[in-house]
Structure 1
Amino acid sequence: MEDKLHEECGVVGVYSEEKTDIANLLYYGLYALQHRGQESAGIAVSNNNQIEYYKDMGLVPEVFNDDIIQKLNGKIGIGHVRYSTTGESYIENAQPLVVKYKKGDIALAHNGNLVNAQAIRDMLEDSGVVFQTSIDTEVIANLLARHHKSNIEESLRKVMEVVKGSFALVMMTDNKLIGVRDTHGLRPLCIGKISGGYVLASESCVLDTIGAEYMRDVEPGEIIIIDENGLQSFKSDKWCRKNLCIFELIYFARPDSTIDGINMYLFRSETGKILAQESPVEADVVISVPDSGTPAAIGFAEESGIPFGIGLIKNKYIGRTFIQPNQEMREQGVKIKLNVLKHNVEGKRVVMVDDSIVRGTTSKRLVEMLKKAGAKEVHVRVSSPPVAYSCHFGIDTPYRNQLIGANKSIEEIRELIGADSLAYLSIAGLSKAGGNKGFCKACFDGDYPMEVPLEGNNKKEQLK
C-alpha cells in the first residue's frame, strides 16, 4: 500500500445562461481535480428539465471522449472524481448520484464522510427505504427527498441538522445549482464567476483551468443556490469554530490552489522554513520526495542556507493500479516510482524533506536507495507532525496499528527507516504556518471537532 494518505474526492458545478459547453467546462474542471480521486469520474447535466449523466470507473480521460461530452447538453451541470473511503470501489458507487423523487430529479456529488451515516441508513432501511449503493451520498439523497416539502433551502437545513461529519456538496435540480459546506468547514468549496453564471469547485485551481474568476470560499454551514435569479446565500445560524482539514494544506490540494485565503504553495514553503528553524542540521544538499514534498524542501533550503537540489526523479507515468504480483515486486515497487539522481547525492550529507510519514515503508526504502547511491548521511525532515490517529472525515487513514506515529517513538522510527536523524514539524509550527487559523488536526492530536465512533465500534474498524 502506498505510504500516503488519500482524499475521498473532488466536486465541481457550473451554471451559465450563456455557455453551451457546460460538459466541456466540467470535463476540464474534473481534470484539474484528478489528484483528489482516480477511481471513477462522472458528469450530470440538466437538459430540458431532465437530468442526463454519464459515469464510469477510471481516470477522467479514460471515462469521457468527445462523443460522450457532446451528448451532455445543458446550462447546469455537476461533476465528480472519486477515491473511496466509504463504500466499495465499483460503478454503482460512482458519482454524481442521480435520483428521482416526488419533486423531480436531483443529482448529487459529495466530498467528505458522515460519521453517523450507518445509523441513519439503518433507520431508513427499518422504515422501508431501499438503497442501491453503499455510499454516504445516498443517505443524504434519501433524507433530502424525505424532508423536501416546500423549498430546497429549508430541506437542506433540515438535512444538515441530522447529518454529522464532513461534506462539501454540489447538487443540481432541473433548474438550480446548489453548493453546501459542512458547519465546521472541514472540506473545501469555493465560488467562481463565469460568463452568464457561476462555478462551484473543491479547489480554486478549477477556476483557473476553465477561465472563471475566483469570488470567495463558501462559508462553513452556508448554502449557495444559483438559478436564473442569480446567486443566493443562506448562512448558518449555528456558530462553529472553523476546522478546515489541515491535510488539505499539507498534501491534498494542488499547490496552485488557495483555500480559505491560504495559498497552498506558500503554506508548504513556510512549513519547510519553520522546520529548518526547529530542527536544523549540517548538510550539503536539501532534496525533496517529489512532488508533494518539494515546496517544503525549497522552504527548508531557503531558511537553512543549504542548497536545494534534485535527488529523486519521479516516474510520472505510473498508473493508479500498478500490478505487483508478488512480494519481491512489491518490495521493488518504490524504485519504479522514484529513482535516485546519483550525481547530486554521492558523497554528500543529504536532507530529505517529505510532507508526511504514514507507515514508514516508503521512507525506509528511499533512505536505503540514497545510501546505496553514495550519500554519506541521510537526514529526514517531515513538514508535518507524526500521524497518530485515524480520520473519520473522509481521509483514507490506516488503522492505528498501521500508523507508525501511533506506535513508535521518533527515535524508533528513525532507527526503523535507517536515517541518520529524523525530525517532524511541531503542531505549534504547523499552526503558525497556517496563520494560527482554525484547523482540524485530529490526525495529529486526537482532538476531533465532533463526537466520532469509538475505535472498534464503527463499520470501518469492523472491516479490518
Structure 2
Amino acid sequence: MDETVFPAPEFPWHPFDARDDDKLREECGVFGVIGVSDAANFVALGLHALQHRGQEAGGIVTYDPEAGFSEARRFGYVRDTFTSQKVMETLPGSIGIGHVRYSTAGSKGATQIRDVQPFFGQFSMGGAAIAHNGNIVNADELRKELIDRGSIFQSSSDSECIIHLMARSLQRNIPERMKDGLRRVEGAFSIVAMTRTKLIGCRDALGVRPLVIGKLGEGYVLSSETCALDIIGAELIREVAPGEMVVITDKGIESSKPFEQKRPRFCIFEHVYFSRPDSIIGGRSVYETRRQIGVELAKEAPVDADLVCPVPDSGTPAAIGYSQESGIPYAMGIIRNQYMGRTFIEPSEQIRNMGVRLKLNVNRALIKGKRVILVDDSVVRGTTSRKIKEMILDAGAAEVHFRIASPPTEWPCFYGVDTPERSKLLAATMTPDEMCSYLGVDSLKFISLDGLYRAVGEAKGRDPAKPAYCDACFSGEYPVTPTDQIAKGFELVEAAE
C-alpha cells in the first residue's frame, strides 16, 4: 500500500487548543463512500463537515484496482491538509473511508502519526481498512491478551485491537472476521471499514455513537452525521441500527444483526452539544431539540432579566428557546471571532490571560446596565464560565445569571468522549450553590435530567428503570461496565454513594 506520512507540524501556541478548552470533546468522526469516480475528494468533503468531531488529525484510505490501497494521514484541519491536488492525486479509487480525531485512549495530543486512523490490515483474503468512533472499555485486557499471543501493536490506540482480533479470527471473509472480533469488544463503536469491493458499517448493540447511510447517485455513503451527506449532495436513507452491520457493494446493501440485541442507549450529549445543529438524529432536527431544551430550561428555571444571550456558538439554539418561552428578548451579547486561528504571538503570561477575549468579545453597548441571562451547553471545569462572567461584568452588566442546557456533568465518559478525570469536573466536587459562588454569578441553574429527556422527545421524562439514552456523564449509570477504568481504581456510582 502506498502511504503518505507527514510529521507533526510545530504549531505556535494557541489559546484555544482542543486539549485546553473547557468543553467536553467528541473524539472521532468517520466517513466512507463507494461507487463514485473520485472517492478521496468526497471523503475529504465529508470529513470537513465532520471537523467538529475531531480537529487534531485525519486520515483517508482508498482502493484502486491498479494502484491498490493508498493512504494519507495528516495532523491539523482537513481544509489545510486534504485540499491540495498533489495530495488527492495520491488517493485514487472509487471506494474510500476517512477519520478525524481528537485523542482517544491513545496518547493525548496525537503526537504519533501511527495513532491516526484509518488503520489498515493485510489478511489472507485481502486488505481491509477500519475507522472507529467510540471507545473500547476492555482495551487494556484485550491488548495484553493479544500481545501475549504474539500480536505486535503499531499504535497506542484502543481501536487497533479490532484489527488484531480480526487477524486472529478463523472466519473466511472480512465482514465475518469483523463480526467475530467485535463480539470480544466491550464499549462503544460506530465503525466504517472497507475492503477492495465492500464498504462496511457497524454499530454496537447499544448504539451509543451515531452512524447513517446515504445515497449518492449510484453510490452509497456512511457517515457519523447527516450534515456530511448534505455537503456532497447525498440523500439520507436511514441510520445504521444499534447492533447492525451493513455490507455495501455494487449490488446494494446487505444487513445483518450479529450481536446480542439490547435496549438502545444512544449518547444523549449528541443532542446537547456534539452533533452539528444542522444534523438529523432519530428523524429529529438537532437544532429543534436544542431549542426545545431552552424551552424546558425556561420553564424549570425562570428569572427576571432584560436579555437572554447565548455563549456562542453551542448555546445559541437553547438561548433562542429560552427567550421564546420566557418572553425575554434574545440578544447577541457576546460576539465570536469567526476567524480565530492559531496565534503567532509568543505565549507570554499576559497573552495567555487574554484567552477567552481573543475568541469572544462582549457587545458592550448592548450589555451595559442590563440583567443578563447567559445560556451555555455545559459546565465542565468552570474556568471558561468564570472568564465569560468577568467579561460581562466588566462591560457593565447589572446582573449575570447562568442557565445551562444540560444537567451537571458529574461523571467522566468512557465511550468516546474526552472527559476530564472526575476530580476535575466542577459538578463532581461542588453542590450547585457552591458552583454558583465559585463562578461568581447571581444565579446558576441546570436543566434537570427529566427536562432534558422531555426535550429529546420522552414526554414523561426519564424512566429510572428503562433510560432511553446513555446519560452516564450526568447520572453515573454506565450501560457498559468500564472494565479497564475499574481495574485502575475508578468507583461506580453505587460505590461512591
Return the alpha-carbon distance in structure 2 between the equivalents of residues 323 and 257 of structure 1: 36
1:4 maps to 2:26: no
Count residues in correspondence. 459
1:192 maps to 2:210: no
Which position in structure 2 is the counterpart of 1:374?
A: 396
List runs of 5+ in structure 1 lacking aligned partners: none
CA drift of 1:325 comes to 3.1
Which position in structure 2 is the counterpart of 1:393?
A: 415
Return the alpha-carbon distance in structure 1 between the equivalents of residues 310 and 344 of structure 2: 23
Change (3 A) 1:203 1:322: farther
CA-based RMSD: 1.8
Return the alpha-carbon distance in structure 1 between the equivalents of residues 211 and 173 of structure 2: 23
Residues 137 and 484 in structure 2, CA contact (< 8 A), matched pair in contact too: no
Return the alpha-carbon distance in structure 1 between the equivalents of residues 194 and 486 of structure 2: 37
CA drift of 1:326 comes to 4.6
Candidates 326, 349, 359, aligned match of 2:381: 359
- Counterpart code for 1:66: Q
- Counterpart code for 2:75: M
- Counterpart code for 2:480: M
- Which structure 1 residue ranges, 4+ long, deviate > 4 Å from structure 2? 320-324
Candidates 38, 45, 51, aligned match of 2:55: 38
CA drift of 1:332 comes to 2.1
TM-score by length of 2: 0.89
CA drift of 1:147 comes to 1.1
1:67 maps to 2:86: yes
CA drift of 1:101 comes to 2.3
Matched ranges for 1:107-186 at <5 A = 107-186=129-208
**Deviation by residue 1:152-202 (Cα, 9 ceiling, x = unmatched):** 333222222200011111001111110011111001000001111210000
Residues 32 and 205 in structure 1, CA contact (< 8 A), matched pair in contact too: yes
Return the alpha-carbon distance in structure 2 between the equivalents of residues 244 and 321 of structure 1: 37
Which position in structure 2 is the counterpart of 1:96?
A: 118
- Counterpart code for 2:278: D
Matched ranges for 1:226-305 at <5 A = 226-236=248-258, 238-305=260-327
Residues 225 and 279 in structure 2, CA contact (< 8 A), matched pair in contact too: yes
1:84 maps to 2:103: yes
Return the alpha-carbon distance in structure 2 between the equivalents of residues 74 and 459 of structure 1: 47
Which position in structure 2 is the counterpart of 1:404?
A: 426
Matched ranges for 1:301-450 at <5 A = 301-319=323-341, 325-436=347-458, 438-450=468-480
TM-score by length of 1: 0.96
Return the alpha-carbon distance in structure 1 between the equivalents of residues 22 and 414 of structure 2: 19
Residues 70 and 90 in structure 2, CA contact (< 8 A), matched pair in contact too: no
Return the alpha-carbon distance in structure 1 between the equivalents of residues 441 and 138 of structure 2: 42
1:22 maps to 2:22: no
Residues 104 and 157 in structure 2, CA contact (< 8 A), matched pair in contact too: no
Which position in structure 2 is the counterpart of 1:52?
A: 70
Change (3 A) 1:325 1:145: same
CA drift of 1:456 comes to 6.6
**Deviation by residue 1:277-306 (Cα, 9 ceiling, x = unmatched):** 000011111000000000000000000000
- Counterpart code for 1:394: G
List runs of 5+ in structure 2 lacking aligned partners: 1-19, 459-466, 492-497
Change (3 A) 1:143 1:246: same
- Counterpart code for 2:158: D
Give the stretch that moved more between structures: 244-253 or 351-360: 244-253
Return the alpha-carbon distance in structure 1 between the equivalents of residues 186 and 450 of structure 2: 28
Change (3 A) 1:40 1:148: farther
